[in-house]
Amino acid sequence: MNIAVRLLENPFDPLAALSAWGLNDAAQAQFIGRVRGTGVDGAPLRGLWLEHYPGMTEAMLNTICREELVRHGAGAALVWHRVGALAVGESIVLVATAGDRRGAALASCQAILEALKHRAPFWKKELAHTGERWVPGNTPYGVRTSTAG
């Protein structure tokens, strides 16, 4: 099993990351997530701030990848995730999986993405033009709140 997890504070090119990864596998699936321009309330955003719990986040991402690769019969996973300040349009997450069959690659890619959204210790703050607010429900570890300002 091949698992590669990276947390990055600077912008990355997901296509460059994929160019040399998983070349020996018959099937690959990829998801690239970008910072959207609107918040949960529909208001325009200028960006996001993404916090994480160092050490714990990487361990959880590795655990999630291992569990989902085994569950779906795939052999490799690549997860790159941004932390810190992000601008609208920047890549925030890359999830890629590979294996001998397309079904295993596709299913494990989606499962890893969904699990990291709900289990990994990330906290997301929307940076609107009129203030800032923590987004509730990013992780099961609790909701952080702040006042706009």
Q: Quickly state the pLDDT bin for 148 (edges 50, 70, 90).
A: very low
Q: Quickly state the pLDDT bin for 147 (edges 50, 70, 90).
A: very low
Q: What mean pLDDT is predicted for residues 75-100?
A: 97
Share of the chain above pLDDT 90, in %: 81
Quick one: 67 exposed, middle or buried, by C-beta within 10 A (0-12, 13-18, 19+)? middle
Q: Would you state the pLDDT for residue 143?
A: 37
Beta-ladder partners of 87: 47
Sign (positive or negative) of CA dihedral 100, 104, 106, 108: negative
pLDDT tens profile 3-32: 999 999 999 999 999 998 877 889 999 999
What Å distances lie between residue 103 and 3, 57, 71, CA to CA? 19, 27, 12
Tokens of 113: 């993405």
Q: Would you state the pLDDT for residue 142?
A: 38
Q: Is the pLDDT of residue 141 over 60?
A: no
CA pair distance 79, 30, nearest whole angstrom: 10
Helix axes 56-72 and 102-119, enclosed angle (nearest 10): 150
pLDDT tens profile 99-127: 999 999 999 999 999 999 999 999 999 99
